[in-house]
Amino acid sequence: MDRAFQRTRILTNHLLLPPPAQTACLTSNDCLNYSPPELSEKYAFDVNEMRRLMDGHDVEERDRLFGLIIQSKLFNPRVRGGKVFVSPDYNQSMEQQREMTWKRIEYLLERGVFRGWMTGEGEEMEMKRFACFEVLGIFDHSISIKLGVHFFLWGGAIQFFGTKHHHDKWLRDTENYMIKGCFSMTELGHGSNVRGIETVTTYDSNTGEFIINTPCESAQKYWIGGAAKHATHTIVFSQLNINGTNEGVHALIAQIRDADGNVCPNIRIADCGHKIGLNGVDNGRIWFDNVRVPRENLLNSVADVSPDGKYLSSIKDPDQRFAAFLSPLTAGRVNIAVNAVYQSKVGLSITVRYALTRRAFALKANEPEVLLLDYPSHQRRLLPLLAKIYAMSFGANYLKMLYVKRTPQSNKTIHVVSSSFKATFTWSNMQILQECREACGGQGLKTENRVGHLKAEHDVQSTFEGDNNILMQQVSKALFAEYMAAQKRNKVFKGLGLEHMNKPCPVIPSQLTSTTLRSSQFQMDALCLRERELLNRFVADVSQCQARGESKEHAFNTNYQLAEDLGKAFSDQAIFQTFVDAEATLAAGSLKDVLGMVRSLYALTCLEDVTYLRYGYLSVDNAAAVRREITKLCSELRPHALALVSSFGIPDAFLSPIAFNWIDANSWTSVQH
């Protein structure tokens, strides 16, 4: 009753209060003001030196291309919060986005950006091309994919599969966009299983022509970038049937449009339609109805057909011939893997900068609200991802160098590493962009703030140029084959980074101290131990299945979960090795000290993987010690967060309004403008 009486009295007093004087005005707390993080966050190391280490090459060329993009109205510049930002206008229709992608390509072509991309030679030119793709991908995924299809897939197929007369006829016109190429491999009924494609090509020795046919609806070429609107020519992958014998998948050049853009006779093209992202790319479907192409249009570096219809190839093994025909996909996988790293850099740059200026809740009354990144939970969400991107950056640089220095002997290594890194980097990109979207709260939903939309734009990376799950199974199969070959030869392991298998098995201490956990040798031992033990287990389990009479393929399918764990272990260890190698190039100093902490955070985050507990590589107590050390490292890296994202070298214009003065960017004045 006392409580009821008290509440009644409070309500009565409230109702009987005299009305406020007309001159009284409302008062409020001080309004929030934006304060640039640079005013309070100090750099403990040279961010330009860190950028050179991370980009690895062609920094000046990257900056030149950034400048070309910022200068042109074609790249949709707009002012928000007193700064200029560039990114595509995703409010445009699909048709408008496609036209803008093509106009941007024309702008870059006129300024010589693509000079030497097809006709130039040497490692320097290839690395410069990679750098340009990375910059263009930061602006827009559609333009990088559109260029990638034309140069890396169409152009790459002519370079790899073709011979001198193909190079002379097609490469310069490709570089100058006198022709516009696409790459017709995927079909409605077959994506990852290229060997099963159903398009058929026969040879007419009377006319010296190949005849291409789409025999059924599932054989229609599908998701062909450039086919719906712009492409004039395509590389057609089909089953080559010579004198009643199927010689397997081969590649030919076919024209699909004339110079005026009209679809050629006996070819039907349809649009794939609107997508959840990449609407600046005109993906199409193609049907071939007795399409005749000259005999010289067969890309014949691997196999040829004589004028009188005899099949000729120096590679007698059909499996080896088929493997040779997949080589252009390696360049595509390298590009996709590296592009994924740079998208994550964009997302993290925006999100970390926002977390250094956005406040939420005060810990005590009358105190300022706390910066998001000063919350340990927010640090734990973002900083391990930041460490992962540093590691993947060094992995990407290693992958590019491995590719440009390729030899016939290194092709297997390139295939395995590119498959592993493509899967790991693109999966990580999706994880990072989703975490960034959530960490930005409601602002992460706005298209202009980029992080949410980037996720939709890059979702496709997980399945094109090889489904990630299948790529990881290929990695495990390659490791299995390497293991069995070493056993059969009774020789040491050599290749695919398995040399650590020749050493004694590492032993993890029963109690892990902070010093041990931060030791690069311990970190390497722990990662090698997991790969070693999973490979031994995988070989044993597959061998047991085979001993029971199962086929090798059935045994692999039965042990798919173990194969996935092994693929991830291989990838983590290989990426970590590139991090250690990059760190070793630095002289002692603050840069190396901070990078060492980042390396430790990456390694320990890998040790949190469930396989360490699942298979008993870490005790429960040691797993808890790893977790505590991660939290400690996040706290120690917090003062370096701004410097770490600034080291990405991404110009402000390629980020978004919430990375800077998000209050002004959302002011009423901005609405009026």
CB 606 within 8 A of CB 387: no
Residues 222 and 264 sit within 8 Å (Cβ to Cβ): no
Is 186 annotated in a binding site? The answer is yes
* Buried/exposed 423-459: b ≥16 CB within 10 Å, e otherwise: bbbbbbbbebbebbbebbeebbebbbbbbbbbbbbbb
Amino acid at 349: S
Measured CA to CA, the distance from residue 121 to residue 127 in angstroms comes to 11
The neighbour count for residue 398, using CB atoms within 10 Å, is 20
What's the chain's Rg over C-alpha atoms?
A: 29
Angstrom distance (rounded) from CA 389 to CA 536: 30
CA 342/CA 138 separation, integer angstroms:
6
Residue of 134, 175, 187, 465 marked active site? 465
Candidates 349, 392, 404; CA nearest to 655 is 349
Structure tokens at 605: 């985050």
CB environment 564-583: b (16+ within 10 A), e (fewer): bbbbbbbbbbbbbbbbbebb
* Helix axis angle, 560-584 to 411-439, nearest 10°: 90
Residue 213 — φ and ψ, nearest 5°?
Answer: -135, 145
Distances (CA, A) of 396 to 242, 273, 338, 346, 586: 42, 33, 6, 16, 19
* C-alpha span between 182 and 154 (Å, rounded): 5
Q: Which amino acid is at 442?
A: G
Listing DSSP states for 342-367 in one string gives HHHHHHHHHHHHHHTT-B---SSTTS
Spatial CA neighbour of 135 closest among 648, 656, 658, 659 = 648
Residues 6+ apart with CB under 8 A from 551: none
Token pair listed for 592? 């190396």
Question: How far is it, in rounded angstroms, from Cα 514 to Cα 53?
Answer: 27
CA distances 551 to 1, 475, 482, 558, 619, Å, are 82, 19, 19, 11, 36
221 strand-pairing partners: 187, 286
The pair of structure tokens assigned to 424 is 């790991």
Catalytic (active site) residue 465: yes
* Strand bridging mode 291-294 / 209-213: antiparallel
Tokens 């970390």 appear where?
352
Phi and psi at residue 13, to the nearest 5°: -60, -40
Q: Where are the beta strands (DSSP E) in 193-244?
A: 200-204, 209-213, 221-225, 233-242
β-pairing verdict for 77-80 and 83-86: antiparallel
CA distance 340 to 455: 10
To the question of whether residue 444 is assigned a binding role by annotation, the answer is no
**Helix H or strand E encompassing 303:** strand 303-305
What is the Cα–Cα distance from 513 to 95, expressed in whole angstroms? 59
Residue positions in the annotated binding site for FAD?
186, 225
Residue positions in the annotated binding site?
186, 225
Q: What are the catalytic residues?
A: 465
